[in-house]
A and B are shown apart, each in its own frame.
Chain A
Amino acid sequence: GQNIDQPTEMTATEGAIVQINCTYQTSGFNGLFWYQQHAGEAPTFLSYNVLDGLEEKGRFSSFLSRSKGYSYLLLKELQMKDSASYLCAVRSSFSGGYNKLIFGAGTRLAVHP
């Protein structure tokens, strides 16, 4: 079956660094995405990893270890606007020749002054 785990809630201080972990057990793994979702809004793309290692994109970095079924999203220099849910999503390949995203439940991050 498909299983994706991430913490339900996290809190952090403005200006600090926070790491949001995601572990997964899926078949047909074909990449891992992180999305940000503010309350009442659509998920927006943050990062994508398909190979092991760290991908850096401004204040956001994402890491992947395929052998461990593990990823993390690192947010630096936190700002109040970073308060949102962060969704880990695994892309799985299916025999029909297309990919499907399987989402975790999301981690609600609260940034306080």
Chain B
Amino acid sequence: GAGVSQSPRYKVAKRGQDVALRCDPISGHVSLFWYQQALGQGPEFLTYFQNEAQLDKSGLPSDRFFAERPEGSVSTLKIQRTQQEDSAVYLCASSPKREADNEQFFGPGTRLTVL
């Protein structure tokens, strides 16, 4: 029973290093979302994919953040030249329908710590 999986679960990066976070959504899910969750806060929207199309990237904090989903399944969130303020849990969620009418199914997240 595969749910949403993310890797790595934990990542420690030195400031200035590039990182890549992977999300494997539930098979067949059309919609895929990335969120950033700071300690003690709720998830904040970063970007949304409908199949391979990135329809909304308004939540990406800066041009150091880049996301892709080239074949409409696996997605990668890349952060270039990481800064300490990038430290957070990065959550991926998928939903079966185009308009995310249903509940979103969340992965366990990747906890990024930037030193």
Contact = CB atoms under 8 A, between A and B. Distances in A.
Contacts of A101: 33, 43, 45, 100, 104
Contact of A103 (B44, B48, B100): B44
Contacts, number: 59
A106 B31 CA distance: 24
A101 B59 CA distance: 12
Given A42-B108, A45-B103, A98 B56 contact: yes
A60 interface: no
A89 interface: yes
B42 A98 contact: no
A64 to B, nearest CB: 16
Contacts of B105: 45
Interface of A: 4, 33, 35, 41-45, 48, 87, 89, 91, 94, 96-106
